[in-house]
Amino acid sequence: RLRMACILLMCFSCLTVRLAPATVLITPEVRIVANANEAQPVHRAIGDLQRDIEKVLGRTPQVVESLDAVPAGATALVVVGPNWSDTRLAVAPDIAGTESHGVYVAQVGSAPHVVLHGSDMRGTIYAIYTFSEKCLGVPPLWFWASWEAEKKERIELPDDFNLRFAPPSVRWRVWFP
């Protein structure tokens, strides 16, 4: 009886133990990696991203042009647009087509990085603002809503974080009054 009780107890404890999922930490020391050859509107969106990170984490991140400028083991936000050329970062091949974009975690060497990936200029801009909204909690129209950021010491994302957005199904989105 004692043996049977021990076996049942061991089985029950194995079923109730859950391992915590691995997380990617974005701290105030985060760096933004972006190609200098990206279009000017992409760099404007990166400036808005710096502002949003400063509002939430309390420090304006540095923008660097290469993954080599990121300290070993540190997490970076990598802006991948049509001019991205660093082959160490395997970008998602399924992000293709007009305005498609994604925000996901990718491993480069020993460190996970958050990739803001757009298939074209507009898709890259959408990826940047999607990160601000979904990960930082900054609403799109915050300026006109008297919104104030919730200050945080860090942002935690699961290591399998993956948001993908396909090209729009309507080619021309205009309204003619």
Q: Quick one: tokens of 134? A: 């979904």
What is the structure's pLDDT at 123?
96
Identify the band that residue 16 occupies on the pLDDT scale cut at 50, 70 and 90: very low
Q: Cβ(113)–Cβ(91) under 8 Å? A: no
Reply yes or no on whether the pLDDT at 22 is more than 90.
no
Q: What is the mean pLDDT of residues 68-81?
A: 92
pTM assigned to the model: 0.84
State yes or no: pLDDT of 15 exceeds 50. no
Cβ–Cβ under 8 Å, residues 32 and 79:
yes
**Separation between Cα atoms, residue 89 and residue 106, nearest integer Å:** 8
Q: What proportion of the chain, given as a percentage, has pLDDT over 70?
A: 88
Residue 120, classed as helix, strand or coil, is coil
Contact assessment for residue 76 and residue 67, using Cβ atoms and an 8 Å cutoff:
yes
With tokens 């990960």, the residue in question is: 135
CA distance 79 to 9: 50
What is the rounded average pLDDT of the residues 80-86? Answer: 88
Considering only residues 16 and 94, tell me which one the structure prediction assigns the higher pLDDT. 94
